[in-house]
Structure 1
Amino acid sequence: MSDVEPLPQGPHPQAESLTVEPTPNAQSFDAAPAKQACAFRGHDESVNSKNQGNFIELIKHSAECSKEIAQVVLENAPSYAKYTSSDIQKELLNILANKVRNKIRKELGDGKFCILVDKALDECDKEQMVILLRYDLLVENISGQGYDGASNMRGAWNGLQALFLKDCPYAYYIHCFAHQRQLALVGASNDVLDVCLFFSALGLIVNVLTSSAKRLSELKYVWEAEIIDLIASGEVQTGTGANQIHTLQRLRATRWSSHFRSVSRLLDLFSVVHEVLGKLVECGPNNSIRGEAKCACESMTSFKFVFILHLLNQVLGVSDLLCQALQVKSHDILNTVHLVSTMKKLLQRL
């Protein structure tokens, strides 16, 4: 291990953030904790501890799998060369990181690369930024940028794309096609008064039921009970992945397919949502919540709301096919134009 250079302190002057996964061929003796973002050291690494942390527990596991390893590690190792201190753990992690970096540099060479940045919702419906790993890659080699419509990403003066253009004038920014479709859909819906009012009512329904963890749990509990009754009566089929318990989808202007998922999920949960809103009208904790629940309940039971709900489920279902196709890596601009033309024909036929 002495032939491997130590990890340089501080960020490299030309280092940029990329979401690159370690190559499977990299040497990873104890890399599992690092790969899974787990801590190496445990809270109590003493001999009597029931859980000494991922690093030592992996050494113990390796010793159980190999007699040769068991003879030279932990209690069988010399007192001056146990190699389990925190400094040694950090050094091993740095060595593994260097091996992965060198492997990535060797594979990339002088090849071009682009940066894709996005966020995702976790199980609590909170947006989380993707964890980025830092590698020594040249900014001058960026051949393109693609982001959503957020101002801090696409801003012409202080946005991320503008900062990269200062160092690499050929890294042109292109708005994500799937986000463009979503923004066009939102803009078109706002031009139709009845549809605009429908989405306002839909947003109210979703906010009333998802803004509280207790109400959200009640929604899932009622739906679970309904699914159990449907399965018992034989009205729905069972199988792997069937009858999953999910919740309502919030409307987001820059989140592709969010409007379609919001409409389709309300259709799936219509009776459940109506039941939970009815309970809130009767037993809400205060007048404000009871009033919002009553307004949402009256809106969703009107003929116009139900009619538009079914109509948009069909219309957005057609456009969602285009949205999913736009996210395929192999598509080019000509394929995209053809897909848009096909979607227009399907909508006209509808």
Structure 2
Amino acid sequence: MKCERCGNQLDDTDLFCPKCGKAVFEEYMDDDDIWDEYDREPKVGSKEKLEISKEIQPEKASKVEETKESPKEENKQEEAAKMPQIPKEESKPKRKTEAKKADKKTKKTTSKKTEEVSGKKSPVGLICACILMVCLLIGVLWGMMTVRQMEKEQATKTTADNSQEQENQASVSTDNAKTEETTKPDKAEEAEQKENETKTEEQEQQPEAKPEEVEQKKQDYFVMADKEGIDFSQYTKLTVANAEQSSMASSGNYDYSAKSAADGDITSSWQEGVEGLGEGTGIKLSLDGTHKIRYIVLYLGNWRSDEMWQKNARPSKLSINLGDNQAKDVEFSDEKKAFCLSFDEPVEASFVSLYIQAGYAGAKWNDNCISEVEFYE
């Protein structure tokens, strides 16, 4: 059997032509049957297509003439007589198998598409996953912070409770002590009373000390010593932090303030600026702290030169105060030498003040002078 369209040799089992796709038995095909193969173009080359089209065109023309000349029923009867009769039972199962194959192909394509879609990671899913992870981390951190705060609060509560318990215990102990004191007589007070009574009895028996002896003890602190016989390398020289004066002589060439009496230079001097020999005037030298003073070295007069020492006045009596502890009026001879005051027991003081009580008149001027004051600890 040959195909009516292209003339290709067909097998008894073919329902469609493998070249052009024309249906072999069009009259036996229903609406549910597949017509894809019927509309397919023939699988031949360009030359064969031309030949087939040439062959098909006269056939179509003859068919058109036949349709014009004869009715449709006659054509159908003639075609049925020509074509071998095939039972319907054999054709239907083949069509069903082809439909199943097409269904399988469609299922495979759809499954592949779904797999491709599922394989691709959508950005929305990634964003949601990241947001969930961040939320979980925040929740974990928040939980840790709350747990720590709870622990701190519990610790503070426990410490407060412990302190309250200690205070309560202390108050209870004090109350107990007070009750014991009230109930029992204080033995320490009795002993103190006895000691005081014995002291008063001893004081009554001893003779009273005279004020002259007390003054003599105070004066023993100020002992004139020989400067050359003392090794001052064993002691530390104290520094003067501040110097003040009650009066000062004016000069355009020299500084006659109290600083000149504690600058470490014996050629510079403090000079008072009142009439007479400067009785009642003086200087106050403050140390850099409280120290135990053992020696005071004084350079009285103007030590710039021997001539200037003779021309200027110099103190003959000074009132010396070592802080608020010791004070004494000390007399000096009219000699150009360094006077050294010694203290057997060091005197604690933060400042030393020197006031002129009397002086020796100078050959030319009556300005009383002190060139330098040194302190050793």
TM-score tier after normalising by the smaller chain length: under 0.3
TM-score using structure 2 length: 0.18
Q: Which has the higher contact order (CA 8 A, sep 6+)?
A: 2
In terms of fraction of residues, the more strand-rich structure is 2
